[in-house]
Chain A
């Protein structure tokens, strides 16, 4: 299994809603990532989890709250979002970061979020 699975594929929410994006991988990877990608722009790093601990937060607003319940799962909790947060949210995973591996990122298909 070389897949990273993201749900839902599409999400429409109002600015007062609370929703969550989910990501799952079964490749035994110990690093998981959230990226945000707006149209015609490159993916922008949001968060990195390493061994289920948050290791990087790229100054992301607190209305985005990541969670890593176990080594296979990564969630992104959304609350009080703004219309400008509408984007494609990509989850990725990679092997043990503490080894000198290539660090290849395996991406999911993404969750396309629209905030009304």
Chain B
């Protein structure tokens, strides 16, 4: 099976930078996703990493190290609307995507 770990809660200040870490242990690794989920809503896609390195997309960046089983999501210039849960998810093979517990981020003024 998969073991995905991420902090359960984080707090950061509006305008600041926050890094959300995710570690995983799995066989058949075929990519790592980050999803954002606001309370009561469906998850929405943020990023996908399958090779080592940094992927940047606007205010959001995601990093992957396959040898370390480690990823992070970096959010810059935080806005109040970024308050949400951030889910790390691991893809095994082509069909199975398993989600971590999620990190609830609270952005404060």
Contact check, A45 vs B97: say whether CB atoms are below 8 A apart: yes
Residues of B with C-beta under 8 A to A42: 87, 99-102
Residues of A with C-beta under 8 A to B48: 102-104
Contact check, A109 vs B102: say whether CB atoms are below 8 A apart: no
Q: Which of A48, A50, A105, A109 is packed against the most chain B CB atoms within 10 Å?
A: A105
Contact check, A104 vs B45: say whether CB atoms are below 8 A apart: yes
Q: How large is the interface on B (under 10, 10 to 19, 20 to 34, 35 or more residues)?
A: 20 to 34
Residues of A with C-beta under 8 A to B87: 42-43
Taking A90-B43, A103-B31 as given, write out 8 further A-B residue pairs in contact, using a Cβ cutoff of 8 Å, ordered by the A residue number: A42-B87, A43-B87, A44-B99, A45-B96, A102-B48, A103-B30, A104-B33, A110-B42
Contact check, B101 vs A103: say whether CB atoms are below 8 A apart: no
A interface, CB within 8 angstroms of B:
31, 33, 41-45, 48, 50, 55-56, 90, 97-98, 102-110
B95 is an interface residue with CB less than 8 A from chain A: yes
Residues of A with C-beta under 8 A to B91: 103
Known: A42-B102, A43-B43. A105 touches B97 (CB 8 A): yes
Contact check, B45 vs A56: say whether CB atoms are below 8 A apart: no
Contact check, B101 vs A41: say whether CB atoms are below 8 A apart: yes
Residues of B with C-beta under 8 A to A106: 45
Kindly report which residue of chain B lies nearest to residue A91, judged by CB atoms.
B42
Q: Which of A98, A102, A103 is packed against the most chain B CB atoms within 10 Å?
A: A103
Q: Which of B42, B101, B102 is packed against the most chain A CB atoms within 10 Å?
A: B42
Residues of B with C-beta under 8 A to A45: 96-98
Contact check, A107 vs B96: say whether CB atoms are below 8 A apart: no
Contact check, A56 vs B96: say whether CB atoms are below 8 A apart: yes
The contact string, 1 if C-beta is below 8 Å from chain A, for chain B 75-109, is 00000000000010001001111111110000000
Known: A102-B31, A102-B48. A48 touches B96 (CB 8 A): yes
B25 is an interface residue with CB less than 8 A from chain A: no
Residues of B with C-beta under 8 A to A107: 42-44
